[in-house]
Amino acid sequence: MGEFFKIDMHISVLLAGGIIALLAAVVPVLLRKKYLSAPIIYLLIGGLAYVAALPLDVKPLEHLSAIEYITEFVVLVALANTGLRIKEPFKWKTWKHAARLLAIAMPVTIAAAALLGWWAIGLAPATALLFGALISPTDPVLASELQTSEPGEEDRSQIKLGLTAEAGINDGLAFPFTYLAIHAAQKGLDYKEWIGSWLLYDFFIKIAVGVAVGLFTGWALFKLVLLLSNGSSSTLNKVSQGILSVALLLLPYGVSEIVGGYGFMAVFFAACIFSRYEEHQPQVTSLHDFNEELERFVVAVIFIATGFFIALRHNVLFDTYILLTALALVLIVRPAAGYVSYIGSELKPFQKFVLSFYGIRGIGSIYYLSYALNAADFENPEKLIDITAAVIFFSVLIHGITARMVQKRISRSEHATT
């Protein structure tokens, strides 16, 4: 009988992949009318997987490269999807609410998180700065109920549009601050020696190059597809949307990274180029649909793994300082920073609340964590991993459970004003 029940690691991984693919297909459908988000279920499944595999001793610091590459791909898929959702990406009305979050709430959140990491958790200064940077981006994947309308549909909610636009940009904007922490870890806290080059190169030049490459590659890719189809809609429909969507992810990212720009910025703006061509909306919708299917699978993988890790380090959630710091970041720091951003705006109190409260933390934070720890030696890496996991756990839980209720309130208020 032993020959019929051999446990082979390769086969086990393939079997696990099949099970996760099935979950990614079924879970979002089952939760359509429930007050739970799919990532919450994946976290629970990851916890159960840990219970079933108690003898295993998983050490994230030994798998940072794998974590970095997987989460990098997830963020790329999510950013492309976010860009494809935004209907008028080059008009100020699209960005007027997100701009306040990017210019005010994001740096305030970085500073407050770094201060809490240093003061409450005891992180070294450079590590605390990294914590502030990696916890700042709003995740473009989670709480999809609060993203703007699907391609081909009108942007009915300014609240959702603001959150979607913010999530599309600040995943790239977190990179300069991550590099700021890396410089502090490598070169010391005497910033006078390196702050100028960081500001010029890592902030202004790399952002500008990423945006420029994204706009150019998006335009060139779109024009190439049109050229091959000779402008014929029937021929255009035959272009493989799946392969095209992969090109939309990898080409802007690769070119931007080679020439010294931020690839995340490039992917988002390349997707925005596609979304602005309303006359080819069916093709844009197909691109989005393929990316969404891909996104569901990789999100399931990441959050099951995150649930496994949180269960492995469950004692972290009983650490008073980590618990209070994580809750403070989710319930106080981001909401307060966001609300301050909208002082003097024409938004109603409920709109300000939603835009401020739903700064969801997730996969982007895991990516920046693994990227920075691979790039430099930081003090207290285990403690940094613990507090980051705790923040993601509470963000997924709190935002995931409340998002559906807020979505219904948004729908009612919009219906009342139409």
Q: What is the pLDDT of residue 418?
A: 47
Q: What is the pLDDT of residue 1?
A: 46
pLDDT at residue 200 greater than cutoff 50: yes
Q: Give domain status of residue 275, yes or no.
A: yes
Residue 344 — very low, low, confident or very high, per pLDDT cuts 50/70/90?
confident
Q: Give domain status of residue 230, yes or no.
A: yes
Q: Give domain status of residue 241, yes or no.
A: yes
- Give the domain extent around 139: 62-298+314-417
Number of independent structural domains in the chain: 1
Q: Most confidently modeled of 57-71, 231-245, 314-328, 396-410? A: 314-328
Q: Give domain status of residue 260, yes or no.
A: yes
Q: Give domain status of residue 37, yes or no.
A: no
Residues 120-179: tens digit of each pLDDT: 999 999 999 999 999 998 876 654 556 655 555 565 677 778 888 888 898 889 999 999
Rounded percentage of the chain residues whose pLDDT exceeds 90: 34
**CATH classification at residue 230:** 1.20.1530.20
Q: Give domain status of residue 13, yes or no.
A: no
Residue 322 — very low, low, confident or very high, per pLDDT cuts 50/70/90?
very high
pLDDT at residue 346 greater than cutoff 80: yes
Q: Is 128 exposed, middle or buried (0-12, 13-18, 19+ CB in 10 A)?
A: buried
Mean pLDDT of all residues belonging to the chain: 83
pLDDT at residue 278 greater than cutoff 90: no
Comparing 17-21, 264-268, 331-335, 375-379, which segment has the lowest mean pLDDT? Answer: 17-21
